[in-house]
Amino acid sequence: METSPNYLMIALRLLGALGLLIYGMRMMSEALQKLAGPQLRRILAKMTTNRLSGMLTGTAVTCAVQSSSATTVMTVSFVSAGLLTLSQAISVIMGANIGTTLTAWIMSLGYNLDLTNVVFPAFFVGIILIYYRSQRFVGDFLFGIAFMFLSLVMLSSAGRDLDLAHNEAAMNFFSSFDTQSHLSILIFLAIGTLITCIVQSSAAVMAITILLCSTGVLPIHLGIALVMGENIGTTATANLAALGAGTDARRAALAHLLFNVFGVIWVLIVFYPFVGLVCSLVGYNPEAAGQTERLPVVLAMFHTCFNVANTALLIGFIPQIERIVCWILPKKDEPDAHDDFRLKYIQANLVQTPEIAILQAQREIQRFAETLHQMFDNVRKLPAETKDDRVDEICQQIGQQEQFTDRMEIEIARFLEQVASGHLSDNSKQRLRQMMREIGELESIGDACFNLSRIMSRSHHAGLRFTKEQLQRLYDMENLCQQALNQMALALTGNTNVRSTRETYRLENDINQMHTRLKAANVEDIGQGRYSYALGTVFDDTVGQLERMGDYIVNVVEARFS
C-alpha cells in the first residue's frame, strides 16, 4: 500500500537544508576573506585602474569569496573610506555580478552528482586543521564548503521525497500560470525579489529554484523569472548596509540596483528568444517532456549569460550611470566637522569582515592625525601674536579641536571594541591592539596642543611677551615637532620604510637635546636678567610641552610598527 509523503517532516528537512546552505556559504566566505583579507583589500584598492580591470577584479574576488554581497559591501565600504572612486566601484560591482554565477554552477553540480563521498572526508580534514592554530581558517573553509555540499545533497533528497511531480495540487497550481504570458513572468520575478530580500541570500533562492525545477513541477520559464528576481533582491544587502553611510557609499549601492534592474528590463523585452538561446546552448528543449536533470544547468547558464550580457552592454556607460546616481542622490552640504561631530570613514553598519573594519579605522585615524596637524598649526601662530581678540579666537579654535579629538578617540575605541568582539585572525588582533595604542597617543598630542594654547593665552593676558631670541628658539623646536608630525603621518598611511622610521627617532632625539639646551639657556638668561622669572617659567613650560609632544609622536610610530 502506497503511503503519502509526510510533508511536515520534508518541509522541516528543506528548511534545515536551506539554513545549512546559508551557514555553509557564509562560513566559507568569511574563512576565505580572513585567509586573503589583506590581499583582497590591496587588490580592490589597486587593480581598478580602468573599467575593464575593475570588472575583472570584481569577478575574481567574488569567485574567491563566493559572495557577491560580500564583494559589493566591501566595495561600498572602500568608497566610503575614499579608496575607490564611484566609477571604479561600479566596474567592480559589475564584475561581482559575473563572479556570483559560479555559485549557480556549483549548485547545479551538486544536484547532478553525488557529493556524499566528498563531504565527510572534508569534515574530517577540516576538524583536524581547525585544531592547528595556523591552519584554522583553512579548516573553516573546508567545513563551510562541506556544509554547502551536504545541504545540496539534503535538498536533492528532500526534493525526491517530496515527489511534487505526482502531487496534483502542486502541479495544478504551477500549471495555472501561463508560461507564455509576461504577467506570469512578472509575478514570479516579484516573488524571487521578495524572497531574496527577506532571506538575504541569493544562494538560498537559487537552491529553491533548482529544487522546484529539478522535480519537474516548476516550468523553466518561471524558474528563470525567479532567478531574475533574485538578481534584483540581492542588491538589498548592500543598499541596507549603505543606509547610514556617506553619500558616495549610497551611490555605489544604488548603482548596483540600477545595473540589475536595467538588465532585467531589457531581458524581459527579449525574454522568450533569450531563454530559447540559453536552452539551445545546453541542448534543452522547453517543449519536450522529461530532461529535468538538465534544468539546473539551464538555470546556471541563464544566470551566467544574463550577467555577462548585461555587463557587456553597460560597461561602456559607467560615466552615464555615475551621473544618474549622482543626480538621484545629490551631495548634501556637510556641516563643519567641529560644529557637528561625525566620523567620516567609520560606518558601523558596513562592518562585514575585520579587514573592512580595520580599513575604516585606519582611515579615521589618519583623519585624527590631520586634525592634530591643524591644531599644531594654530598653536604655532600664538607665540608671535600681539592682538588679544586674535589670541582668544585661535585658542577657541584649538579648544574646539581638542573636544573633537577627544570624541574621535572615544568613538574609534568604541568601534574597535565592537570589532574585537568578533572572530579575528592573529594579524587582525595585533592590528587592533596597535590602533588602540595609536589613538591614545594621538589624543595625548591633542592634549599637549591644548595645554600649549592655555599656557600662551594666560601669559598673553598677563602681559608677558617672548623676546626675539625666545621666539627664534621656539620656532626651531616647533619646526622639529612639525617634521616629526609629518613623519608620523607617513607612518599612519603606510607610506614609510625603515629609513623614514629611523628619521622619526632622529627627530625625537633632536627634540630632547634641544629641550635640554633651551632649559639651560633659559636658566642662564633669567640669571643674567635678560627677562623676568615669570616669562622664563612660561618659556620653560612651553618647551616642556613640545618635548612631551615629541615623545607622544614617537609612541604613535612605535605603536604602528610594534
Q: How many residues does the chain have?
A: 562
Q: Residue 58 belongs to what H/E stretch?
A: helix 51-65
* Burial readout 21-34 (b: 16 or more C-beta within 10 A, e: otherwise): bbebbbbbbbbbbb
Q: Residue 275 belongs to what H/E stretch?
A: helix 271-281
Other Cβ atoms closer than 10 A to 500: 14
User: How far is it, in rounded angstroms, from Cα 76 to Cα 248?
Assistant: 8
Q: Is residue 421 part of a domain?
A: yes
Residue 266 · residue 341 · CB < 8 Å = no
Q: Provide the grid cell at 370.
A: 590631520
Q: Is residue 540 part of a domain?
A: yes
**Residue found under cell 568601534:** 415
Q: Residues 355-358: contacts with CB within 8 Å, 24+ apart?
A: 355/33, 355/34, 355/37, 355/38, 355/40, 355/41, 355/74, 355/428, 356/73, 356/74, 356/77, 357/415, 357/416, 357/419, 358/419, 358/428, 358/431, 358/432, 358/435
Q: Provide the grid cell at 482.
A: 612639525
Per-residue pLDDT of the chain (562 residues), as tens digits, is 445 566 677 778 878 877 887 787 777 767 766 666 556 566 655 655 677 777 887 787 777 666 666 677 777 767 766 667 788 888 888 888 888 888 778 777 766 666 677 778 888 888 888 877 677 778 887 888 788 778 777 777 776 666 665 667 766 777 777 778 888 889 889 988 888 887 777 777 787 788 778 777 788 888 889 888 888 888 877 777 666 666 777 888 888 889 889 999 999 999 889 988 888 888 877 766 666 677 888 888 888 899 899 999 988 888 898 899 989 888 765 544 444 456 777 765 554 566 667 777 888 898 899 999 999 999 998 888 878 888 889 999 999 999 999 988 998 998 888 888 766 767 778 888 889 999 999 999 999 999 999 998 888 888 888 888 999 999 999 999 999 999 898 888 766 555 567 888 889 999 999 999 999 999 998 988 888 899 899 999 999 999 999 999 999 988 887 6
Same structural domain for residues 320 and 365? Answer: no
Smallest Cα–Cα separation from 256: which of 82, 105, 84, 75? 75
Single-letter amino acid, residue 245: A
Same structural domain for residues 389 and 510? Answer: yes
Smallest Cα–Cα separation from 81: which of 316, 299, 296, 345? 345
Same structural domain for residues 286 and 403? Answer: no
Q: Is residue 502 part of a domain?
A: yes
**Residue found under cell 604602528:** 560
In angstroms, what CA-CA distances link 235 with 1, 46, 412, 457, 530?
49, 24, 29, 55, 73
Same structural domain for residues 323 and 373? Answer: no
Same structural domain for residues 474 and 540? Answer: yes
Domain boundary, last residue among 261, 294, 328: 328
The domain tally of the chain equals: 2
Same structural domain for residues 204 and 291? Answer: yes
Domain membership of residue 233 as a residue range: 7-164+171-328
Q: Provide the grid cell at 35.
A: 585567509
Instruction: Cite the DSSP H helix spans in 100-181.
Output: 101-112, 116-130, 136-162, 168-175
Same structural domain for residues 211 and 247? Answer: yes
Q: Provide the grid cell at 131.
A: 585544531
For the entire predicted model, the pTM comes to 0.68
Q: CATH number of the domain that 369 lies in?
A: 1.20.58.220
Per-residue pLDDT at 541:
92
DSSP 529-559: TSS-HHHHHHHHHHHHHHHHHHHHHHHHHHH
User: How far is it, in rounded angstroms, from Cα 230 to Cα 69?
Assistant: 12
3-state SS string for 215-256: CCCCCHHHHHHHHHHHHHHCCHHHHHHCCCCCHHHHHHHHHH
Same structural domain for residues 366 and 407? Answer: yes
Domain boundary, last residue among 260, 294, 328: 328
